[in-house]
């Protein structure tokens, strides 16, 4: 899972490097949407387990 972070980092830098700002922007947007989804899911789970 540490590798996930590193992989994401490398991927991001490659995208921004090779394909430039627009592609990186799209990638980052996707990342943000994913983040929001994950956070929402985890907070629903929290409510279930902790009440």
Under rule CB under 8 A, residue 34 binds another protein: yes
φ/ψ (deg, to 5) at 44:
-65, -40
d(CA 48, CA 17): 42
Under rule CB under 8 A, residue 15 binds another protein: no
Under rule CB under 8 A, residue 1 binds another protein: yes
Closest CA to 14 of 2, 4, 1, 24: 24
**Site residues for another protein per CB under 8 A:** 1-2, 4-6, 8-9, 12-14, 16-21, 24-25, 28-29, 31-32, 34-36, 38-39, 41-43, 45-46
């Amino acid at each position: 899972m540490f590798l996930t972070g590193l992989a994401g980092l490398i991927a991001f830098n490659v995208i921004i490097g090779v394909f430039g700002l627009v592609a990186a922007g799209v990638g980052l947007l996707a990342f943000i949407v994913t983040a929001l989804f994950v956070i929402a899911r985890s907070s629903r789970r929290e409510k279930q387990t902790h009440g």
